[in-house]
Structure 1
Amino acid sequence: MRLSAPIYHLKRKAKRLSREVGIPLHDALDRVAATQGFSAWSLLAAKAATATPANRLFPQFQPGDLVLVGARPGQGKTLMSLGLAVEAMRSGHRAAFFSLEYTEKDVLDRFRAIGVDLAGFEKLFEVDCSDAISADYVVKQMAAAPRGTVVVIDYLQLLDQRRENPDLTVQVRALKSFAHDKGLIVVFISQIDRSYDSSLKPCPDLDDVRLPNLLDLKLFDKTCFLNKDEVQFRIAS
């Protein structure tokens, strides 16, 4: 299934339509669904839930993987990463989201944007928005995490913003070793440099990762880059 826009954009469109036309939201959702070839929003949502990029990508990951998810702002890198966490939980694994960017409410709002009710994953998910987040902090908090846990870090470029934290390379190496030893999947959300030009290539790649400080990008086992409807997944050679 290929929608004309991400599902969260379609929801926003329905909310605007509801306000502008003065109809109930559920009617507006059904009207938007009709533009995508579905007779009702519930059918669109059910189909989308089983055909997301995260649903297709998650089986490619293995315990011990270090994954980079990168995109320009507003292209869905956070939603993709949360989608991977959801896929882990649907498989019976735990997931954790460490954010130096969002509040806990922001994170919960993002779950709602992808149509996920966390009540269905009781005790499988945790969110941590501490200002103290660093590699050492994540290792300490995840010391007892079982094999297969997905750990999302939001985001890569903020890990060494505090002077007392080690260099970015040191932290990423530490988390790579930790992921390997514990059998975790560690996903880094990454910014993309403003110089990326989508008219030259459909998706950014490692050359476009914004690196204010040095980092060996070969440390990542797998990468996922997004731009508009394009998703490019690669396994490191």
Structure 2
Amino acid sequence: MAEMELAGVNLPYSLDAEQSVLGAILLDGNANMPKASAKLHPEHFYVKVHTDIYTVMMQMFAASDNIDVVTVLENCMKNNVFESQEEGRNYLVKLMETVPSISSVDRYIEIVEDKYTRRLLISIAGDILENANEGQTDTAALLELAEKRIYDIRNENQVKGLTRLNAVIVGILNELSELCANPDKQGIQGLKSGFPSLDKYIHGLNKSDLLIVAARPGMGKTSFAMNMATNVAKYHPEKSICVFNLEMSKEQLVKRMLSSEGRISSELMSTGRFDPAQWRNLADAAFVLSNMNIYIDDSSAITVNEMKAKLRRVDNLGLIVIDYLQLISSGRRDLNRVNEISEMTRNLKIMAKELNVPIIVLSQLARSAEKKDDKRPMLSDLRDSGSIEQDADIVLFLYRDSYYNKEAEDQRACKCIVAKNRHGETNDVNMIWDGQYTRFTDVEYVHAEQ
């Protein structure tokens, strides 16, 4: 970073803070070097000699060497940091004398880190200005590059070091104490899905989880996911829910949502032959949905990176829904379909972890599932790649016997099969499917209402 220069721009740095960090390490290497190494790299220092000294200290720390003024001077001379022994000794002693208070080393580290981030931002702004003036870079590509570089800075500043076990235990105990004090949340660590029987098994929609919802076409995958999205919006109005629908237009999707919320048949939504009561239901549903923080993107052939670029701009992101996996573009032509899907599921899991939100991804089942005598779906029926099962934290299958058997006793009965669950056991959850309203309802909830 010391080599970075911009014409006419004074790059920010703090000479006193840089000297104080290095001086504090020289005074007490055992206590202060671990603190510095957890947050600072050599490029965080602007002054060239400070970069070189800290590089030597990092090498010594990695080798478990004792760090003090004598040993650092010896290693600095080996690495040609100073021209003479006397010059090196005088400068290292000056660093130790510069430290105002060794107990404030954490603050000095923060200042050095802050100045480095500011220099990075200035550098990025310079690159963007240069590329924009040249006019050779596509505007969309320029925006994506700018977003990515700024996001990378944010991630770099969130360095995660080793955490002692007791700190993790304290956090867990505090979380469990909060759950015990709130009966409504007991057993639900994540966002409420709106399906209480399902939440008993998956414990809600948890941060960084990748949930796969799979079924044959026409089984109700999209309706189930959108029911869940609207439920989350109702229970957690402070959260933003983002929906990427690669198959339907946003108008088609919102019509379904209005049908489900207003209990208006999909046929009426197509014909518009409403009576006054139905118009009131539609107006009420429109009012409820309009006040939800749900955002819809109906771009086709979108990539995971393009989704991520859009999601970074969303405030208080709570849930992501993607409909559906097989329509996502990998942006690569050098991979076969299996490897392409594998890369996408891996990137989706990484995105869930980076953004720290649950992601619900819909997926198709292989056609071979239709040829089995028992049509009940299994993990091996997931289409295109075994990585879907591997990368997912939770896999849910939707299954209706009436889909295959028109003579079935209960045409509305549906099972949500929890086929994989990293948070607990697997089981079947009984639900009711109202096809005319494109709506799923928890059987337990219906019985409670009755």
TM-score normalised over the length of structure 1? 0.68
Residue identity in the other structure for 2:310: Q
For residue 82 of structure 1, report the CA deviation from its aligned partner: 0.5
For residue 149 of structure 1, report the CA deviation from its aligned partner: 1.5
Task: Provide the residue aligned with 2:311 in structure 1.
Answer: 142
Does the aligned pair in 2 maintain the 1:203–1:232 contact within 8 Å?
no
Task: Provide the residue aligned with 1:49 in structure 2.
Answer: none
Residue ranges of structure 1 left out of the alignment (5+ in a row): 1-52
* 2:354 equivalent to 1:186: no
Residue ranges of structure 2 left out of the alignment (5+ in a row): 1-192, 263-284, 401-413, 424-450
Q: What whole-Å deviation, never above 9, does each CA across 1:126-171 have from its counterpart, x for those lacking one?
A: 1111124110011011113355621111111111376569833223
3-state secondary structure, aligned to 2:353: helix
Cα distance change of structure 1 residues 215 and 72 upon mapping to structure 2, 3 Å threshold? same
Does the aligned pair in 1 maintain the 2:365–2:383 contact within 8 Å?
yes
Higher Rg of the two aligned structures: 2
Bigger share in helix:
2
Give the Cα separation in 2 of the matches to 1:102 and 1:89: 21
Task: Provide the residue aligned with 1:208 in structure 2.
Answer: 381
Equivalent residue runs for 1:47-58 within 5 Å: 54-56=194-196, 57=198
3-state secondary structure, aligned to 2:261: coil
Give the Cα separation in 2 of the matches to 1:199 and 1:217: 20
Does the aligned pair in 2 maintain the 1:55–1:83 contact within 8 Å?
no
Residue identity in the other structure for 1:190: S
For residue 119 of structure 1, report the CA deviation from its aligned partner: 3.4
Does the aligned pair in 2 maintain the 1:203–1:226 contact within 8 Å?
no
Cα distance change of structure 1 residues 54 and 177 upon mapping to structure 2, 3 Å threshold? same
Q: Give percent identity, aligned residues only.
A: 23
Task: Provide the residue aligned with 1:22 in structure 2.
Answer: none
Task: Provide the residue aligned with 2:434 in structure 1.
Answer: none
Task: Provide the residue aligned with 2:211 in structure 1.
Answer: 67
Residue identity in the other structure for 2:305: D
* 2:415 equivalent to 1:230: yes
Does the aligned pair in 1 maintain the 2:207–2:357 contact within 8 Å?
yes
Give the Cα separation in 1 of the matches to 2:334 and 2:229: 26
* 2:225 equivalent to 1:81: yes
Cα distance change of structure 1 residues 84 and 198 upon mapping to structure 2, 3 Å threshold? farther
* 2:296 equivalent to 1:127: yes
Task: Provide the residue aligned with 1:107 in structure 2.
Answer: 253
3-state secondary structure, aligned to 2:362: strand
Residue identity in the other structure for 2:360: V
Task: Provide the residue aligned with 2:282 in structure 1.
Answer: none
Q: What whole-Å deviation, never above 9, does each CA across 1:4-37 have from its counterpart, x for those lacking one?
A: xxxxxxxxxxxxxxxxxxxxxxxxxxxxxxxxxx
Cα distance change of structure 1 residues 174 and 84 upon mapping to structure 2, 3 Å threshold? same
TM-score normalised over the length of structure 2? 0.37
Q: Relative contact order (alpha carbons < 8 A, sep ≥ 6): 1 or 2 greater?
A: 1
CA RMSD of the aligned region, Å? 2.7
Give the Cα separation in 2 of the matches to 1:74 and 1:146: 34
